[in-house]
Structure 1
Amino acid sequence: MEDLFIKKLSFTKRPIPIPADYRPMYKIAIIVLILKLCCRSDKASLLKLHLFSWALASKKHTALLADYIRKNFVGEFSVWGIEPALNRALQLATAEKICDIVDGKNYQLSTEKGLQFFNMIMSDNELLVDEKAFLKSLGKNTITDSRINTMTKQWSLFYVEN
C-alpha cells in the first residue's frame, strides 16, 4: 500500500478550444434564430429544433434539407441527429428566460429577453451570416409539425424494414 502513496500532485491548466457547436451561447443563438425565423408563433417542438440545428451543422446537411424541400418533400429523408448540446442549450435558455416551454412540450420565443437577444443577433451583419440566410430562405411555413411527423414516420417504415 505504501507504493500508492502520492506525496505531491500537480496539474497544469492548458487552454482547450471548444468547437462552436458545443458552446452554449452559439446553440442558444441558433435556437433563437430558428424559433423566430422558421416557426409559426415563434414556437417549435424539440424534434423541429433538432432538425434545423442538424441542418445548420454542416453545408452538406443544409444542402440535403434544401434539396428535400425543393423536391416538395417527396422521397426519402435520412434520420437527423439528436444533439445533447442542443438539449443543454435549451435547458439553459429556459432557465435564463430566453425562451419558454409551452404546452409542456414546445419551446417558444416569447420573453422580452429572448426577443432582445434575437434583435441583437439580427442587427449584427457579420454574425451567423450563413445561418441567418438559410433560415430566412426557409421561412415560417416551409416545415410544419405535421411535416416533421411525416418525416419521422418514414424513419420507422424505412429503417425498421432495412
Structure 2
Amino acid sequence: MSTDGDFFEGEGVEEARVKFRRQPRPIPADARVGYKVAQATLVLHTFNRNAATLENLHLFSWALGTPKRRQMLLSWWSGNRYANTVTQKLDPYLPVALNIGVMRGVMRITTGAKNRIHLEPSGVLMAQEIEHDHDLFAAEKNFLRQFGRLSDASVSRQLARS
C-alpha cells in the first residue's frame, strides 16, 4: 500500500484510502434557476400582452447569454445574415426555469397552434421591479430596449421566418 493514500493499480479496494477535498465549483449565473426565471420575465415583459412563443423566448434568452450573441441577434434583426442562417436558438437552461416559474405562479404555458408563455400578474410585478432597479439586469434591459415593443409576428417578419 502506498504511503500517500492514493489508489494505485494492484491494490485492493478495501485497502484504498478515499480523500475528499473541497473545491469551489461556482455555478454560472445563466444556469441558476432564479436568474433564468427573472430573465424570462424580463423578456416576456418586452412582448405584447406579456406573452411570447416558446421559440421566441428561447431565442431572446439565448441571445442574452453573452455580448457576442446579443450582437449576433442585432445583426440578424437588421438583415445582416446569410439566407440559410438558422435564427432558431435554444437556451438549455430555460426549460427548468419555465417549470419553476409555472410552479411558482409567475408564468403559465398555453398550448395550441403555438406554445405560448404568458406572465401571470406576479410575473408582471417581478418584471416591473427589475425594470425599476437600474443596476439589475442593466445589460439585458439595454439590449431588449433596442427592439422596442416586440410581438411574435414582428420577430417572424424581421427574421424572415415562415
Please classify the TM superposition score into its range, dividing by the shorter chain length.
Answer: 0.7 to 0.9
Among all aligned residue pairs of Structure 1 and Structure 2, give the percentage whose two residues are the same amino acid.
Answer: 28
Give matches, 1:61-80, under 5 Å.
Answer: 61-71=69-79, 75-80=83-88
Offset at residue 94 of structure 1 (A): 0.7
The equivalent position to 1:107 in structure 2, one of 113, 117, 130, is 117
**Greater alpha carbon shift after TM alignment, 7-16 vs 99-108:** 7-16
Identify the residue that residue 129 of structure 1 maps to in structure 2. Answer: 138
**1:32, 1:118 within 8 Å by CA — same for their partners in 2?**
yes
What TM-score comes out, normalization by structure 1 length? Answer: 0.76
Offset at residue 32 of structure 1 (A): 0.5
**2:58, 2:94 within 8 Å by CA — same for their partners in 1?**
yes
> Between Structure 1 and Structure 2, how many residues are aligned?
149
1:125 aligns to what SS in structure 2? Answer: coil
Identify the residue that residue 59 of structure 1 maps to in structure 2. Answer: 67
Q: Deviations over 1:106-151 (max 9, x none)?
A: 1101x23212211221121001111101112212336527717x75
**1:25, 1:89 within 8 Å by CA — same for their partners in 2?**
yes
Q: Deviations over 1:76-129 (max 9, x none)?
A: 4335432321111111111111111123521101x2321221122112100111
Structure showing greater relative contact order (alpha-carbon pairs closer than 8 Å, 6 or more residues apart):
1
Which letter maps to 2:67? K
- For the aligned residue pairs, the C-alpha RMSD in angstroms reads 2.9
Which letter maps to 1:85? Y
Structure 2 residues without counterparts, runs of 5 or longer: 1-11
